[in-house]
Amino acid sequence: MQSVGIYEAKTRFSALIEAVEQGEEVRITRHGKEVVRMLPVRRKPVITDEQIARELQQIQALQQTVRTPDTMNSVVNLRQTGRSQA
């Protein structure tokens, strides 16, 4: 991690950008207080395709347990029973 003042950052901006591109963090200060933090952009995805596929499978499995045809039929039957008694 580098920490540089604003004046130095202005004069070495290209070199600082290159350092950030190589993965280094650069902090720019004004009167000794940090005002800017330059970080490299993540180039790799945070979540992989395999993780996405696994999560989707888990969601689909959960949906099947929550909403089965029998459950929906029993809800309809309960509604009809409740309405006919009223």
Task: State whether 58 and 33 are in the same domain.
Answer: no
For residue 44, being part of any structural domain is answered with: no
Domain limits for position 66: 49-85
Provide the domain count of the chain: 2
Per residue in 7-63, pLDDT tens? Answer: 999 999 999 999 999 989 999 999 999 999 999 987 666 788 899 999 999 999 888
Specify the CATH number for the domain of residue 24. 3.40.1620.10
Residue 69 has pLDDT above 70, yes or no: no
Compute the half-sphere exposure of residue 81: CA atoms within 13 Å on the CB side of its CA. Answer: 6
12-16, 76-80, 82-86: which has the highest mean pLDDT?
Answer: 12-16
On whether the CB atoms of residues 7 and 31 are closer than 8 A, the answer is no
| Stretch 63-82: mean pLDDT | 73
Instruction: Record the tokens describing residue 67, joined without a space.
Output: 């909403």
CB atoms within 10 A of CB 38: 15
pTM score above 0.85: no
pLDDT for residue 76: 77
For residue 28, being part of any structural domain is answered with: yes
Q: How far apart are CA 30 and CA 68, in angstroms?
A: 62
> What are the helix and strand counts (H, E) for the chain?
4, 3
- In sign, the C-alpha dihedral spanning 45, 47, 51, 52 is negative
